[in-house]
Structure 1
């Protein structure tokens, strides 16, 4: 099938938002116990006769999105590197015509040993979660004493040729939100884009949200007051407001989903590890695609289903109203 013409098949909703970015979950399993996601650890959902998308299914869904203008795929989980075929997944996605960026989000515990293999397979961008530079607080937040393993993995990524690594930090009041000076010192001489993410309310985390949510606005104001400048946003970039400073090799990104008009520039769709299309991280339900991933002859029907349901995408999430949709925790559909 030829690559879709923009006029006919570009993924676009009724609000004229175009979708160049697919977040593809390959598992909902995670080996960390982060307080804001899986504080009690991963628990199987009890699904019967089900499994995560296999390699041919992943290839077909990515090809369909690529044929409709998607140029960036982010592989997510759970922890995606728990898949034994993770490197093969990277290779298949990177070899798909039209895909220009293959990114991943990881807790980083396997990076030191395997990041070179991922790069050779075609992984172009890495996001690593590091919620504190204090090993004890890192352990407290993640439930795992892996701080030094993760930090070694980041350094290894630079050694094998990555020019930049993005580091995700979930902001939590009374835990890590006072650590901005420490983080700034860390990125002064390192090409790291440090991304502060506001804690988001999910179905299982209401109390945590009430106790620890803090807005990123104060950090933004502090950055601007100290000479940081806002970078232009690229077509396939995520939702972060990215700031740079002439005295720093690193950058700062702010992800603030509670800010007005946050969804105005939405350019990404999600497919879960079970093959469901999610129009929003905080939507009410997913659209099953898996019955159209059985062989290579179903792409036209697959695209038609995606396009049809995309026209029902809401103008915004409803987090401001306390409505978190059907998302129980961030690992369930890849954050």
Structure 2
């Protein structure tokens, strides 16, 4: 059984948020810090998480990324990793973290079954890192990356949002940093969300300009795998590290979409920038509901749009990237 939409896109990749809380105040996401949005019945519990992952795995999903907010804020984060890793068919269990707990927890997460890790590092300058994230944690995050290598992760992915007139001039420094390190440095193009229209207009830097710079300097694009994320990955014979470019404003970006999202409150989202979420939580209470859950997911896939329409200025219901696990 395979999840497929009306555009023949197959979905091997689940992005599962387990909290929308974050302890950083990144300028492009939560500049004023985390603020709960209305009342909720609490985030998905461990058994609910197990059931939703099991249903997706039954339908051919092979990769789960545990997201937030900051997912490691959950006290049971290691248990969530273990639940994902033990599901038959799940080959990759990944997470995206701001890295503040990484130095202490990398080995624990690896032992629990985490296979891939992304760490957000928007600047290699400690003062700029503080300015962008609102937290003076650069040294701790760098130590966390070292700890992740020591724990046995063969490659670390580092996410950076390059922004005009803020950190865009750090591209050469970032490239130098990965020359002798097995890091896939992922430059994520700033995306417009409902709360950040003015910020986007001021600081947006085109991902295409970064791609053109790389190509002009001898970088070559790698072939994609079925459960890869949206990044175009580039390699260079003189570099141990790689570059991944996530360019949501690039033409036909959505043609290779292979991922679905479930929020920390149990809503299915067809797209990060969709205009609605579908309630699944009532179907996550008993193991016997699995067939109903799968039917609900498949039914909604028929309505998945061909594109996110970001290039038309459409941001959907997404107020910020922490809301449903950007």
* TM-score (structure 1 length as normaliser): 0.97
Task: For 2:208 and 2:260, locate their aligned partners in 1 and report how far apart those are by CA, in whole Å.
Answer: 26
Q: Secondary structure at the match of 1:167?
A: strand
CA distance in 2, matches of 1:171, 1:185: 16
2:26 is matched with 34
Per the alignment, residue 179 of structure 1 pairs with 170
Task: State the match for 2:181 in structure 1.
Answer: 190
Map 1:115-264 to 2 at 5 A: 115-264=106-255
- Deviations for 1:221-274, whole angstroms, at most 9, x for unmatched residues? 111111111000110001101000111000001000000000000000000000
Distance in 1 between residues matched to 2:245 and 2:30, nearest whole Å: 23
Task: Find 1:24's aligned residue among 16, 40, 48.
Answer: 16
Equivalent residue, structure 2, for 1:4: none
Structure 2 CA distance for aligned equivalents of residues 218 and 302 of structure 1: 43
Q: Secondary structure of the residue that 1:92 maps to in structure 2?
A: helix
Task: Identify the residue that residue 11 of structure 1 maps to in structure 2.
Answer: 3
Q: Which runs of 4+ in 1 moved over 3 A?
A: none
Residues 34-84 of structure 1 deviation map (CA, whole Å, 9 limit, x = unaligned): 000000000011315x10000000000000000000000000000000000
C-alpha RMSD of matched pairs (Å): 0.6
1:7-86 to 2 correspondences below 5 Å: 9-48=1-40, 50-86=41-77
CA-to-aligned-CA distance 1:315-334 (integer Å, 9 cap, x gap): 00111111100000000000
SS in 1 for 2:271: coil
Displacement of 1:171: 1.6
**Does residue 275 of structure 1 match 2:254?**
no
Give distance in 2, aligned partners of 1:272 and 1:22. Answer: 11
State the secondary structure of the residue aligned to 1:123.
Answer: coil
Q: Distance in 2 between matches of 1:178 and 1:220?
A: 15
Between 9-18 and 212-221, the greater mean CA deviation after superposition: 212-221
Total equivalences in the alignment: 326
2:308 aligned with 1:298: no
Distance 2:284 2:131 in 1: 41
Matched residue SS, 1:243: strand
Q: Comparing 278-287 with 315-324, which one deviates more in the overlay?
A: 315-324
**Offset from partner CA, 1:188-225 (integer Å, 9 cap, x none):** 00000000000000000000000000101111111111
> Distance in 1 between the 2:112 and 2:214 partners?
37
Q: Which runs of 5+ in 1 are unaligned?
A: 1-8
1:317 aligns with one of 283, 308, 317: 308
Give unmatched runs, 5+ long, in structure 2: none
Write the distance in 2 (CA, Å) between the matches of 1:282 and 1:150. Answer: 29
Whole-Å separation in 2 of the counterparts to 1:293 and 1:213: 39
User: Quick one: distance in 2 between partners of 1:180 and 1:320?
Assistant: 25
TM-score (norm 2): 0.99
1:160 Cα offset (Å): 1.2
Distance 2:18 2:77 in 1: 9
The superposition leaves residues 66-107 of structure 1 with CA deviations (integer Å, 9 ceiling, x where unpaired) of 000000000000000000000000001000010000000000
